[in-house]
Structure formats: structure tokens, C-alpha cells
Amino acid sequence: MTVSDLAASTHVVDAHAHIFTKDMPLRNNPRHAPTYDHTLADFEKTLDAHGVTHAVLAAASPWADYNDYLIESISGNPRFRGTVILYPNVERYTLQQMAREGIVGVRMHMIGLPELPDISTFEYRRMFRRIADRGWHIHLHCEGHHLPELLPHFERTGVNLVVDHLGRPDPVEGINSAGFKALLRLMENGRTWVKASGHFRLGKPSTGYLQEFIRQTGNTRLIWGSDCPFVGDEANANYGSSLKWFLEAVPSPSDRARILGQNAMELFFKTDG
């Protein structure tokens, strides 16, 4: 399935995917330990086969702050942007150089941790200010029940925020969960976006989550991502099924165009036509 003839947009952007090689250094006790390569060349073939013009590559938690392969792969390639995982002692000069090589945000991966980091400390507040000063975004991945606790901290920073996987709502309470409601409220600030990604990780109501976001917030703060190559769920998802899920959930051509292309181009590719 391709989207080039379905989205009324010049561009189609996959705003969430990963590249890696099996010999990259894994962090201690990773959630996943892929035993295969998924290179930029592999991913480009997938994009071309499905009519997707641009992509944003996300640093993935198994490799912690080893961002080297991602940065080297996208540097100088206008088709791609990236987000990296960093520790809060990162210097502004490092961020400046990363920006030159196509990095546009910092991923905060808070899934599977024994406890959440204290992001109210000076070290984190300093990093958030440096991110905001660059015009980057925080790319947040956490369980939905943590959102009411975390979102006020990010709101106070003034930084742009992009939340993964529809905010991972509680599978029992769904759109009535406190996390889902907190995310809807924060989207009113004009600095918060939600990724329609990882539907296969969310259970059967995932289509309803996306439709509820559109119903309550419109189509301007939503972006789509495949989560390719579906690490940990390779047997349950593929690129075609990710697109099919989105297209079935969003029948409106204008909504599709916005979410598949325009929003992500404005957020991640500001200097590119």
C-alpha cells in the first residue's frame, strides 16, 4: 500500500522510525536486543516502496546515548531528521553540532524504568532550556499513567513537546484515563504534538484514540509514525499494516494531508520545501 495518491500533500512524513546495526553497543539490561541490522539503506527502500518522502529517525533505548550511527547516517541528507538520547550534562556546543547534522530534538525514554528521573533538578532544567533555545523539541515516551505527573514540568519549560504512541493511554480506561485527558489539555498550549504511532502496542482501541484526538483538537497537532522496524513486535506489525491502520482511522483527505505531511514538515523540516 502506498500513500502518495491518498494524501493530498506534496510530502508524506514518517515521523517515528529507527535504524541500527546489531553490533552497536547495547546499554546494560536493555528492554530489547535486536539481532539484525536495520540500516538507513534498508529503511529507504521501505519508504520508497510506500510512497513516503521524508522521515524522522528516533534514537532507541537499547543503545542509550550512542547516537553515532543515527547522526552519521542522516548528516547531509535532507530527506531525514533525527532525535537523540542525551544525558542532562550535555553542553550547548554538542547541541549546536548535532543541529548542523540534522538533529531536531531529544528523546526522553521513560518506559521500563525502575523509577522516573527527577526532571525538576537543575541539571534537567538546564538541558530543557538549551533545547528550547535551539528551537528543538522534547520527544517523550512514557506510560500514559505518568503523564499527569510529567506534563506540568514540560509545560513550565516552554519547550516544544512531542508525545509518542498516542500517549499510551491506559488500556482499561482509554480516553477517560487521567493521562489521556491531561495530554488533551496540554495540546491547547500550541506547543504540544502527539504521534499517531505504535498502534500495535496499544491494544484494540487504538483507532478510537486517534479519532478522539482529531475530534477534540483538530488535525494540526498530530503527526504519523510507523515505528518501523517494530522492535519487539516484528511478527505482529509491518509497514503496510501501520499505514492501513492510519488510513482506516482517518478517512478525511484534509486530515490525512495534515497528519501525514504538513504538520511534520512544519515541525521538523522548517528550512526545506
pLDDT per residue, tens digit, the chain (273 aa), is 455 555 445 799 999 999 999 999 999 989 899 999 999 999 999 999 999 999 999 999 999 999 999 999 999 999 999 999 999 999 999 999 999 999 999 999 999 888 999 999 999 999 999 999 999 999 999 999 999 999 999 999 999 999 999 999 998 999 999 999 999 999 999 999 999 999 999 987 789 999 999 999 999 999 999 999 999 899 989 999 999 999 999 999 999 999 999 999 999 998 543
Per-residue DSSP letter, 146: G
Q: Alpha-carbon distance 269 to 262, whole Å?
A: 10
- How far is 273 from 269, CA to CA, in rounded Å? 8
Q: Would you state the cell numbers that stand for residue 26, as one nine-digit string?
A: 547495547
pLDDT at 5: 53
161 in Cβ contact with 128 (< 8 Å): no
> Yes or no: is domain 13-268 CATH 2.40.170.20?
no
Residue boundaries of the structural domains of the chain:
13-268
- C-alpha distances in Å from residue 102, one per residue of 55, 199, 249, 258: 11, 27, 31, 23
This prediction has a pTM of 0.94
Decide if 99 contacts 71 (C-beta within 8 A).
no
Residues paired with 108 in a beta bridge: 140
Q: Given phi > 0 = left and psi -120 to 50 = alpha, else beta, which region is 24?
A: beta
Distances (CA, A) of 140 to 39, 61, 180: 24, 12, 14
Residues 231 and 132: their CA atoms lie apart, in Å, by: 30
- Alpha-carbon distances of 39 from 2, 22, 197, rounded to whole Å: 21, 10, 20
Q: What is the pLDDT at residue 2?
A: 55
pLDDT score recorded for residue 94: 97
* Tally of residues, the chain: 273
Question: What would the grid cell of residue 102 be?
Answer: 540534522
DSSP symbols for 95-117 = HHHHHHTTEEEEEEE-SS-SS--
Rg (CA), the chain: 17
